[in-house]
Chain A
Amino acid sequence: MPWQVGLYAAAVLIPLAAFLVEILFIRSLGRLNARIATGAIAASCALSAIGFVDYFLVENRAAFAEPGHHEAAHGEAVPHEAHAWEGSFDWVILDAPQEGRRLAIPLGVRVDGLAAIMFLMVTFVATLIHAYSTSYMAEDARYPRFFAYLSLFCFSMLGLIASPNLFMIFLFWELVGVCSYLLIGFWYEEKPNADAANKAFVVNRVGDVGMLIGLGVLWSALGTFDFREVVAILRHPDGSLDAAAPISYGLLTLAGLGIFAGCAGKSAQFPLHVWLPDAMAGPTPVSALIHAATMVAAGVYLVARFFPVFTPEVLDVVAYAGGITLFIAATIAVVQTDYKKVLAYSTVSQLGFMMLALGVGGWAAGVFHLLTHAFFKALLFLGAGSVYHSVHTYEMAGLGGLRRKMPTTAATMLVGTLAISGVPFFSGFYSKDAILAAALAKVAAEPHHALLFVLPAVGAVLTTFYMFRMWFLVFAGEPRGFPDPHTARVIHAQDEEHALAAEDSEHGVGAAQHDLNPVAHAHESPAVMTRPLVILAALSVFSGWTIWLGLPIGTPVLERMLAYGAPAGAIDAHWAHWYAVGASLAILALGLLLAVLYYAPAGLPFAPSLRLSPARAAVRFRPLYALFKNKWYFDELYAMALVRPCLRLAKACAGLDRLVIDAVVNGAARTVELLSRAGGMFDRLGVDGLVNGLAASVYLAGDRARSIQTGRIRNYLMFLALAVIGLFAGVFAWVG
């Protein structure tokens, strides 16, 4: 077992140890929990960094070569799979009687290039967010518990990444889910928060049913959960499906769809995307860590891991689910008035981009976007938290002009906005470009899938539009303020859409408590909060760069490192690259133009003289506006088609018990009682009569007990003992 396995096992287990200490000694440790948690994740981060350096700079330097080069050198389709450190033990092992092999469930660590990168990303972002939270959560009554939960989450997330098999993934999958549940409902005193937590967990469990199906089908056919063993059984060395594999194509597709259902749940993909926006009820650092950078990306990560197991049909489903998700979420983000909700829908949408990339075969592109997105979305959420920390409202209508009071936050958020919009030299440009190139390659090969390019293209335009809209509304122009306490709640600002109830809000602060002019006493957040913003902003720029100082020539470094470990079947969309760059720039220009026309404040040097009014657009496209505003009515649809029928069915089951089964039982008891009364209690000897008689006599005894009342236990006992002895006597009389 290589030493790196120990290294990574320690990186996983340190946060667990921290969690145990924090939760068991929560009363005595108190606020020290924050330091323990932060120290633990920082230690994991350091270990991950050592592993990362060792993997890419010592053991696998070839990863930096231009893709295509090393493939030529090795001449095989899956050349790098062997480059993984691994070690495991059998968690459960049962002897299989009459069978040569034993069916075991191993737990362990396997770290390849993708895992090494993910480890570093997760621990690094988590460390920053821990540090940020020490200030953001400082006033909270449950401050120690918050950090205990964070530690548990870090352990679960790292365990998930280290998993060498689907079973262990599932185990940690559920654990991150429960951490998410606990943290979404962290302020559980307010019903909406608890509802949101339940919704998140239950919707995820719907996906987990799929996971269980995948687990069950694969295991019962192949007898293993291990990724690599499964792939080895299913595919020839050249990557084509092995027709002789001991699983039918249909079942394999079912397993793939099941696993994807799990991924769709976790990564909030259509049709299971409904929980993530509600999950913003949790504290903002949680939104940044769990619901933007790491956990929700786990679904994408698992699709990447299982890429070689998926049949083409499954990959098409993945692609279309991603495409539909990214489009729907983007349209909803456009009409949100709450800046955290904009980011939430933007996250759903960006996850859709990743899924689409994987679905069309752009393996490296999808994972690449996962990483760049982690940086800029964590940045945006932490920025949003910084804003909230200062103004105590999520409603954009009353904000504006915050750039003067919060220059660092404004500048870093602008970097995030530029990154997510795909402006050249910012990381998002490179990863989105790679996705569009992959989609273009797919559509070129199979023109009937044209939608798979149209959806991300339109989605990207909307992304640029809603992100700049958000930035303009929050930071640009002059502070608008809320007209009066009522409209502080019901938003109706000069350049905003129709009056709509605000459905926030963090801490459950009733909007009535909102300041009329929240910007008036806004202030920049303390350094411990802004420093993570600056670091993440730097990463949001550089993480996408190519070796040519960021110029879009060649493949970005990170994408190369990822492509190095890409499985067989991942496409090389090299030729589409320049077309995609052109498309990206056109998309960017269009999105930016729309945002400026609608939302750029007057007085900016580049402000156009032509202005469009969002309010008028909302009126003109009323049906569309209503559709987007109501989130495409998914919540209503699910409540009507799933939740309420399920509750009705539950009531029916409970009713069946009372009205049918119990009626039969009671009726039978009464009949027996009447019968034996008629015949006399001990008339009918023989087994049948005896048993019935006993039953009835017990019933009568119960009847009488009411009149005699309690306290005559001895009588009861004697009577029943006699009855039982009689029963046995009868049996033996009959038997003998």
Chain B
Amino acid sequence: MSDNLLLTSLWLVPLIGAGAVLLVPKGSERLVKYVATAFTAVAFALALAALAAYVGDARAAAPLAERAASDGFLVVRHDWIPAFHIQYYLGLDGISVSLVVLTGLTSLLACLASWPIEKQVRGYYSLFLLLAASMTGVFLALDLFLFYVFFEVMLLPMYFLIALWGGENREYAAIKFLLYTLFGSVFILVAILILYFWTGDAPAGDFRGGSFDIVKLTAIASTTGYYGRWIQDWVFVLFLVGFLVKLPSFPFHTWLPDAHVQAPTPISMILAGVLLKIGGYGMIRLAWPLAPAGALDWSYVVAALGVFSILYGALAAMAQTDFKKLVAYSSISHMGYVTLGMAAMNLAGGAGYYAYGVNGAMYMMLAHGITSAAMFFLVGVIYDRAHTRDLDRLGGLNNVMPLYGAVSYVIFFGSMGLPGLCGFVAEVFVVLAAFRYSVALGVLAAAAVVLTAGYILWTIQRVFLGRNEAWKGLPDLSPREIGISAPLVVLTVLMGVFPQALILSWMSPSVDRMVAGVASGATTAAGPMAGRPAEAPAIVAEAR
């Protein structure tokens, strides 16, 4: 299959699926499920094929820009709306391919977890596949306009999936999700438009702005002073706010607990497993590379925000009595590590330590994608049986559902960052990088491990330990449920034991390249600023 077709089919297959399920005649709900599962399975297989192509081919070692210019390996580039220099530009590097595979896997597992859905099955699966298509598209897009289109399209199916198939308070949760995200995307849009219309602070060859090309803009930002320091400060903050909403990070996070609690189980899996990663992906692909100097200027604030989110999320999780809400808050805490890892920009003496931070952030996205999807699935399993998520009413499940207990232990410990499981690698990388950046922030981030242990162990105790006659006779995991949890458990372990062989060997070159670009851009942009005070307050600069 040519790369052209492969990349396009990655998002097109689920989209076709979204249409296909609508064509299934009424009354054959089972067929809808099979069709939808088949489409997600094909999409996942395509994602794996892309990964295999990326890992197995030496050409993948070249940066995206080079590949786009020469052989077009795993890159697709056509004009779309030439009047505005908008391109249909897709491409994969280590960062995006990992998330595309995560999307494929999570979608497939969530699709299997959707089996118990009985209401409006065709509509559900259609929206579900539309969501999968748009998420994949976000990770593929290398054109800001295209990125934004996928980004916005993603909101609609998510809104309806929560609003129509959610719990009692679904309307409120769905609206809240939509408003928050639209609020964030306005910021992203403004940042994109600034980049497009900026006329330049310093010459950059024949570049005159007017481009949505992410690869080109990244190169401009990292090697020239075209985007001056003060405008980068603005662009960065705009991107940051937009993506922090998505991530989410304090103080833009309150949509998440509501959305999770109201969303049906498979949608929670998607939401936690993939959707939050779009925030992190936006940071690593857009916010930092397109405004590296701005990122450096704001780094302390952002890092502090990350640490605060880690602690705040963990504390808030500890106070919850709703199992699902607790897991939702734990997501906020974990995503704080992503923010911190990205922001721990100590570039003195080389970017080697910073590379650990960004690799840790990426690893956290993948690890959290696995464990959080699994945790929401596990919450759903018990909710289906016990019809409650109240932690004070659960208990004693270890003896009733031993397999469920064993799976949960691995996943929860993985989320807690136990060595040998996936969360550990991510946390330790980020915390180590944080120490290089600021000992004070490092100490605070390290202190969070106590809170994490606290809420996770307390949850385990309240759900699995003790005795509880009320739940006697609940069935253990069904074969379908084992099928969903097995890959997640296996990945949780393998990603913890073989981080280098399994992920980092092919992901970290791309991350390191991004780090090098940011490091160079963060210093380059200062050059053309020589005439102005280095730390000109953004407001003053704007007034100019």
Segment touching A, from B3-11, B28-36, B274-282, B511-519 = B511-519
Q: Chain B's nearest CB lies how many Å from the CB of A711?
A: 7
Q: Mark B452-464, 1 if CB is under 8 A from A, else 0.
A: 0110011001001
Segment touching B, from A276-284, A326-334, A699-707 = A699-707
Q: Chain B's nearest CB lies how many Å from the CB of A573?
A: 37
Segment touching A, from B99-107, B172-180, B334-342, B534-542 = B172-180
Q: Is the CB of A220 within 8 A of B349?
A: no
- Chain B residues with Cβ below 8 Å from A698 are 159, 175, 178-179
Determine if B203 is an interface residue (Cβ-Cβ < 8 Å). no
Q: Is the CB of A95 within 8 A of B120?
A: no
Determine if A611 is an interface residue (Cβ-Cβ < 8 Å). no
Using C-beta atoms within 8 Å of the partner chain, give the interface range for chain A: 35 or more
Determine if B449 is an interface residue (Cβ-Cβ < 8 Å). yes
- Chain A residues with Cβ below 8 Å from B453 are 201-202, 205
Q: Chain B's nearest CB lies how many Å from the CB of A165?
A: 13
Determine if A175 is an interface residue (Cβ-Cβ < 8 Å). yes
Tell me whether A95 and B420 are in contact in the complex, defined as CB-CB below 8 angstroms, given that A695-B182, A735-B84 are known contacts.
no
Q: Is the CB of A706 within 8 A of B171?
A: yes
Q: Chain A's nearest CB lies how many Å from the CB of B331?
A: 14
- Chain B residues with Cβ below 8 Å from A706 are 171
Determine if B443 is an interface residue (Cβ-Cβ < 8 Å). yes
Tell me whether A99 and B449 are in contact in the complex, defined as CB-CB below 8 angstroms, given that A189-B466, A710-B164 are known contacts.
no
Q: Chain A's nearest CB lies how many Å from the CB of B437?
A: 8
Segment touching B, from A300-308, A381-389, A540-548, A715-723 = A715-723
Q: Is the CB of A219 within 8 A of B446?
A: no
Determine if B312 is an interface residue (Cβ-Cβ < 8 Å). yes
Tell me whether A694 and B355 are in contact in the complex, defined as CB-CB below 8 angstroms, given that A198-B461, A212-B449 are known contacts.
no
Instruction: Identify the closest chain A residue to B122 (Cβ).
Output: A713
Segment touching A, from B314-322, B378-386, B471-479, B480-488 = B314-322
Q: Is the CB of B359 within 8 A of A94?
A: yes
Q: Is the CB of A188 within 8 A of B251?
A: no
Give A174 to B446 CA distance when docked, in angstroms: 14
Instruction: Tell which of A99, A206, A651, A654 touches B351, judged by Cβ atoms closer than 8 Å.
Output: A99
16 new A-B contacts at CB < 8 Å, known A198-B461, A702-B171: A91-B500, A97-B515, A98-B351, A99-B350, A175-B419, A178-B413, A188-B464, A213-B442, A698-B159, A705-B163, A710-B164, A713-B127, A716-B160, A717-B156, A732-B84, A735-B196
Q: Chain A's nearest CB lies how many Å from the CB of B162?
A: 11
Q: Is the CB of B156 within 8 A of A724?
A: yes
Determine if A312 is an interface residue (Cβ-Cβ < 8 Å). no
- Chain A residues with Cβ below 8 Å from B512 are 94-97
Q: Is the CB of A721 within 8 A of B156?
A: yes
Instruction: Identify the closest chain A residue to B405 (Cβ).
Output: A188
Give A203 to B211 CA distance when docked, in angstroms: 55
For B189, B432, B516, the residue with the greatest tally of chain A CB atoms inside 10 Å of its CB is B432
Give A494 to B183 CA distance when docked, in angstroms: 76
- Chain A residues with Cβ below 8 Å from B253 are 657
- Chain B residues with Cβ below 8 Å from A655 are 319
Tell me whether A694 and B182 are in contact in the complex, defined as CB-CB below 8 angstroms, given that A99-B350, A206-B450 are known contacts.
yes
Q: Chain A's nearest CB lies how many Å from the CB of B321?
A: 10
Determine if A217 is an interface residue (Cβ-Cβ < 8 Å). yes
Q: Is the CB of A702 within 8 A of B359?
A: no
> Which residues of B (501-532) have their CB < 8 Å from a CB of A?
504, 508-509, 512-513, 515-516, 519-520
Q: Is the CB of B435 within 8 A of A217?
A: yes
A/B interface sample: 10 pairs, CB < 8 A: A94-B359, A97-B519, A174-B418, A185-B465, A190-B466, A217-B439, A220-B436, A665-B180, A695-B179, A713-B164
Give A650 to B257 CA distance when docked, in angstroms: 15
- Chain B residues with Cβ below 8 Å from A732 are 84
Give A728 to B461 CA distance when docked, in angstroms: 51
Q: Is the CB of B349 within 8 A of A99?
A: yes
Q: Chain A's nearest CB lies how many Å from the CB of B529?
A: 21
Q: Is the CB of B356 within 8 A of A103?
A: yes
- Chain A residues with Cβ below 8 Å from B176 are 665, 669
Determine if A616 is an interface residue (Cβ-Cβ < 8 Å). no
Give A662 to B172 CA distance when docked, in angstroms: 12
Q: Chain A's nearest CB lies how many Å from the CB of B319?
A: 4
Instruction: Identify the closest chain B residue to A654 (Cβ).
Output: B319
Determine if A626 is an interface residue (Cβ-Cβ < 8 Å). no
Q: Is the CB of B420 within 8 A of A175?
A: yes
Tell me whether A657 and B254 are in contact in the complex, defined as CB-CB below 8 angstroms, given that A94-B359, A97-B355 are known contacts.
yes
- Chain B residues with Cβ below 8 Å from A251 are 439
Q: Is the CB of B432 within 8 A of A97?
A: no
Determine if A170 is an interface residue (Cβ-Cβ < 8 Å). yes
Q: Chain B's nearest CB lies how many Å from the CB of A500?
A: 26
- Chain A residues with Cβ below 8 Å from B451 are 646
Q: Is the CB of B439 within 8 A of A95?
A: no
Instruction: Tell which of B175, B254, B454 touches A702, judged by Cβ atoms closer than 8 Å.
Output: B175
Determine if B52 is an interface residue (Cβ-Cβ < 8 Å). no
Total residue contacts A-B, CB cutoff 8 A: 220
Q: Is the CB of A212 within 8 A of B315?
A: no
- Chain B residues with Cβ below 8 Å from A695 are 178-179, 182-183
Give A731 to B454 CA distance when docked, in angstroms: 48
- Chain A residues with Cβ below 8 Å from B179 are 665, 669, 695, 698-699
Q: Chain A's nearest CB lies how many Å from the CB of B410?
A: 10
Determine if B467 is an interface residue (Cβ-Cβ < 8 Å). yes
Q: Chain B's nearest CB lies how many Å from the CB of A517?
A: 31
Q: Is the CB of B319 within 8 A of A92?
A: no
- Chain B residues with Cβ below 8 Å from A171 are 419-420, 424
Q: Is the CB of B449 within 8 A of A209?
A: yes
Q: Chain B's nearest CB lies how many Å from the CB of A475?
A: 36
Q: Chain B's nearest CB lies how many Å from the CB of A484?
A: 29
- Chain A residues with Cβ below 8 Å from B398 are 188
- Chain B residues with Cβ below 8 Å from A194 are 461, 465-466
Q: Is the CB of A94 within 8 A of B160?
A: no
Determine if B19 is an interface residue (Cβ-Cβ < 8 Å). no
Q: Is the CB of A724 within 8 A of B353?
A: no
Q: Chain B's nearest CB lies how many Å from the CB of A202?
A: 5
Q: Is the CB of B193 within 8 A of A735?
A: yes
Instruction: Identify the closest chain A residue to B81 (Cβ).
Output: A732
The 5 closest A-B pairs by CB, nearest first: A96-B352, A216-B435, A99-B350, A97-B516, A220-B436
Tell me whether A95 and B509 are in contact in the complex, defined as CB-CB below 8 angstroms, given that A653-B319, A654-B316 are known contacts.
yes
Give A219 to B357 CA distance when docked, in angstroms: 13
Tell me whether A94 and B450 are in contact in the complex, defined as CB-CB below 8 angstroms, given that A175-B420, A657-B316, A706-B171 are known contacts.
no
Q: Mark B119-155, 1 if CB is under 8 A from A, else 0.
A: 0100100010000000000000000000001001100
Determine if B296 is an interface residue (Cβ-Cβ < 8 Å). no
Q: Is the CB of A653 within 8 A of B353?
A: no
Instruction: Tell which of A216, A647, A694, A727 touches B446, judged by Cβ atoms closer than 8 Å.
Output: A216
> Which residues of A (613-658) have their CB < 8 Å from a CB of B?
646-647, 649-651, 653-655, 657
- Chain A residues with Cβ below 8 Å from B171 are 702, 705-706
Q: Is the CB of A97 within 8 A of B182?
A: no
- Chain A residues with Cβ below 8 Å from B186 are 687, 691
Give A195 to B159 CA distance when docked, in angstroms: 42
Determine if A259 is an interface residue (Cβ-Cβ < 8 Å). no
Q: Chain B's nearest CB lies how many Å from the CB of A264?
A: 14
- Chain B residues with Cβ below 8 Å from A215 are 432, 435
- Chain B residues with Cβ below 8 Å from A716 are 160
- Chain B residues with Cβ below 8 Å from A35 are none
Q: Is the CB of A711 within 8 A of B449?
A: no
Q: Chain B's nearest CB lies how many Å from the CB of A155?
A: 10
Instruction: Tell which of A103, A220, A661, A711 touches B120, judged by Cβ atoms closer than 8 Å.
Output: A711
Determine if A191 is an interface residue (Cβ-Cβ < 8 Å). yes
Determine if A65 is an interface residue (Cβ-Cβ < 8 Å). no
Q: Is the CB of B123 within 8 A of A713?
A: yes
Q: Is the CB of A95 within 8 A of B174?
A: no
Q: Mark B355-392, 1 if CB is under 8 A from A, else 0.
A: 11001000000000000000000000000000000000
> Which residues of A (97-140) have their CB < 8 Å from a CB of B?
97-99, 101-103
Give A711 to B366 CA distance when docked, in angstroms: 36
Determine if A468 is an interface residue (Cβ-Cβ < 8 Å). no
Instruction: Tell which of A93, A172, A202, A665 touches B450, judged by Cβ atoms closer than 8 Å.
Output: A202
